[in-house]
Amino acid sequence: MAGVPFIGMGVSGGEEGARHGPAIMGGGPKAAWDRVAPIMQAIAARYEGEPCATWMGPGGAGHFVKTVHNGIEYADMQMISEVYGIMRDGLAMPAAAIGTVFDGWNKGPLRSYLIEISGAVANAVDPETGKPMLDIILDAAGQKGTGRWTAIEAQHLAAPVPVIEAAVAARNVSSRLHARVLGQGTYKAAPQAMPAGAVSVADLEGALIAGKILCYAQGFDMLNAASRTFGWGVPLPEVARVWRAGCIIRSDMLNDMATALTDDPARNLMLAPVFVAHLKTHHTALRKVVASAVLAGHAVPALSAGLAWFDMMRTARGTANMIQAQRDFFGAHGFERTDGRPGKHGPWGAH
């Protein structure tokens, strides 16, 4: 309707948020947001008295921020499920013991809504059978598409989010239950118990800490790329602050992220001093968990993707020079040189 301002409102919090206050990510004309801001802030969740509702930028900025939130949510959930699988199948831990581990982790650096509910889920008992609830839930996860949208848009922006992409792919694979049953029968394979001492619960905690940082670093880098591309001016520190309460990915770690993004919004979070310290401490655990999982046949796509991205991002000279040479060989695309001279074509000759 002509002359009527529209506000795009990203909202996260599920049923609990609907009852007690969600995180609200507004988008559209600033003047329109300002008119409704007092109402939105009144109904939003609060973190230490501060409302988790703010304007993210013009146009579709609010919904975009919410979409990336959901992509991070997919990745966070997938990494938690991978660690759960290692405890269940690799360490032969019963569901209740796994719940106790999650409850313990929720008192430390991983303190978050998703870790909290993972503990509650692992501790729950099916009232019909008396068995652990997790042991009777089908291994086939649904999705509404926001993680997929995040992955697709990340490709358009050339903003790599491999942990989110791996999480989306894992949900798609989970739905192919019949094919997976045939695959296990064909290859006589299943995740194996890990040798004693291969990984510890402390290693799994460290792996999750590192994986979580890397996932969020990718998500915020994507938001930064979108903000530049679309001219939104998304306030990245405010995004982190809005996500501290009400939403599904709320966690204590977002406090440090908000501070780091305030210090330097353009800097990738993996390069912020507080997260450099975490990653230097915990990337070895992530590496140990991924390596042990792969050797024992456990699928850890999201944790693996985070580790691979981390290794690429800390390697000054990678292997894309081979790709440049290949492209020039078959398509005469040219290449850049390390010595600063103009790149023309290689001496490939006729083949």
> DSSP state, 248?
T
The span from the CA of 185 to the CA of 237, in Å, is: 50
Four-residue CA torsion sign, 99, 105, 106, 112: negative
- Report the relative pairing of strands 23-27 and 53-55 from DSSP bridges: parallel
Rama region for 14: left / alpha / beta (φ>0; ψ in -120 to 50; rest): left
The span from the CA of 211 to the CA of 115, in Å, is: 14
What backbone phi and psi angles, to 5 degrees, belong to 47?
-115, 110
- The residues facing 114 across adjacent strands are none
- Whether 16 is catalytic is no
Set 15, 48, 50, 73: catalytic member: 73
Instruction: Name the nearest CA neighbour of 87 among 77, 102, 73.
Output: 102
CB crowding 261-287: b at 16 or more within 10 Å, else e = beeebeeebbebebbeebbeebbebbb
Strands in the chain per DSSP E: 8-12, 23-27, 46-47, 50-51, 53-55
- Whether 280 is catalytic is no
In the chain the first and final C-alpha atoms are separated, in Å, by 63
Set 30, 66, 205, 288: catalytic member: 66
Which residues are catalytically annotated? 66, 73
